[in-house]
Each structure stands twice: as C-alpha cells, then as structure tokens.
A and B are shown apart, each in its own frame.
Chain A
Amino acid sequence: EAGVAQSPRYKIIEKRQSVAFWCNPISGHATLYWYQQILGQGPKLLIQFQNNGVVDDSQLPKDRFSAERLKGVDSTLKIQPAKLEDSAVYLCASSPTSGSFYEQYFGPGTRLTVT
C-alpha cells in the first residue's frame, strides 16, 4: 500500500512570496489533515477535510493560508504572502473514517524556509 505522498520536500522562498504544497493521501482515506510543525514543537493542526468538505479550519491563518481538496482526493495548501514565522515543516496525514479508530498516517513533510 502506497503511503501519503507530499511534494516538494524542501522549499526556500523570500518573505512576501507565495508557495504551494501538494499532498496525495492513502487511497480510500476520506479524511485528510494538514499540520504545521515548528522546530522543537509538536505538530499543530491547520485544517481537516472529510472528502472535499472542511471539518475544522479553526487554527488556519485565513488571511494568508488557504487549502483545497476539490475532488476529495489530493489536496493543496497555499501560503500567500509568506512571513518569516511560517518557516516550519508542513505535514499531511490521512485516515480512514471507519475502522482503525481514525488512526493517522503521515507523509514525509515539506520543509519550508522563509528568508
């Protein structure tokens, strides 16, 4: 079974530029999560999708961050414009909504550096 795929793995941009991250979840997983992990901290949930609908985006800075999952499969997270404090690893995870009690499976992450 293929795991959660993310790209790119690394990205360096200047502040005020825009950037987009892509995630393809495990086949058949209806729930998809985007997390932000700042160095030395645990991941913080940014947004959770169930199929192509948003379940929770309460911690997403909506003035600069946006995410979509148009066909209920892969997803894109965008930052526009980026700030220095957005430097972090962005993790995507997916889980089935039946069985496995919502166990989450993570991708390798995208490390973003904003200079």
Chain B
Amino acid sequence: KQEVTQIPAALSVPEGENLVLNCSFTDSAIYNLQWFRQDPGKGLTSLLLIQSSQREQTSGRLNASLDKSSGRSTLYIAASQPGDSATYLCAVRYNFNKFYFGSGTKLNVKP
C-alpha cells in the first residue's frame, strides 16, 4: 500500500530563517512528485513538480529535491517570510490514476 508521510505536522520559525519540509513515501516506483501550498479556506496552489528522472526543481526561494531510492523529498524555503505561512502538501503520483497526498505541514513564520 502506498503511503505518503509529512513530518513535522506543524512548524513555527522566525522570519528570515531557512527551513526544510520533509515528505516520505513507501513505494519508490513513482511517476512524479508535486508540492502544493494551501492557504486557509483556499484550494491548493502548485509550487513545484519533480519528474521521477529529476533530482531537484527550483522556483524563486523554493527548492524541491527528490531521492527515489530513499523514498524522500524535501522542500527547502530560503529566507522565510510571514507570507509563506500556509500548509504545505506533497503528493506522489504512481501512474495516471494513482495519486496520494500527505497530510501536510502547517508552517507559521513569525514576524
């Protein structure tokens, strides 16, 4: 059974700090992995998508890495800002119709 786990469930950091969010998955035969951001009362916004053949993707202050052999992905946020406060979700796709979400990490960046 494929499972996706995100640790920690919640994280609080001071503004300006660099931070890492973790996502682990049990089955390494993935097609791709996608990181999302969810603000309260809102839908999900796609941040980064990493194909199984890639090691990392970058967008602005965000960098996502993928290590299939260890079943792990990390989302690195540089120089965090209060506007980064949200819940961050990772989702693993195994094929066209098998797609599993983690339960998310709720991030609070304090001014």
Q: Which of B31, B42, B46, B89 contacts A108 (CB under 8 A)?
A: B42
Contact in complex: A41, B46 (CB < 8 Å) = no
- In the complex, A103→B59 CA distance in Å? 16
Interface residues on A, range: 20 to 34
A contact residues around B93 at 8 Å (CB): 102
B85 to chain A, nearest CB (A): 17
A42 within 8 Å of B (CB atoms) = yes
Known contacts A42-B89, A42-B102, A101-B51; is-contact A91 B97 (Cβ 8 Å): no
- In the complex, A103→B45 CA distance in Å? 11
Interface residues on B, range: 20 to 34
Q: Which of A55, A100, A109 contacts B96 (CB under 8 A)?
A: A55
Which of chain B's residues has its CB closest to A56's CB?
Answer: B97
- In the complex, A55→B89 CA distance in Å? 24
Interface residues of B (CB under 8 A from A): 4, 31-32, 34, 36, 41-46, 49, 51, 89, 91, 93, 96-104
Add 7 more A-B contacts to A40-B103, A91-B44, A102-B96 (CB < 8 A).
A42-B89, A42-B102, A43-B89, A93-B44, A104-B91, A107-B43, A108-B43
Interface residues of A (CB under 8 A from B): 4, 6, 33, 40-45, 48, 55-56, 91, 93, 100-109, 111
- In the complex, A42→B46 CA distance in Å? 14
A contact residues around B34 at 8 Å (CB): 103-104
Contact in complex: B99, A103 (CB < 8 Å) = no
Contact in complex: B32, A106 (CB < 8 Å) = no
Known contacts A56-B97, A102-B96, A103-B49; is-contact A42 B103 (Cβ 8 Å): yes
* 5 residue pairs from A and B, CB less than 8 Å apart: A4-B43, A40-B103, A42-B101, A42-B102, A102-B96
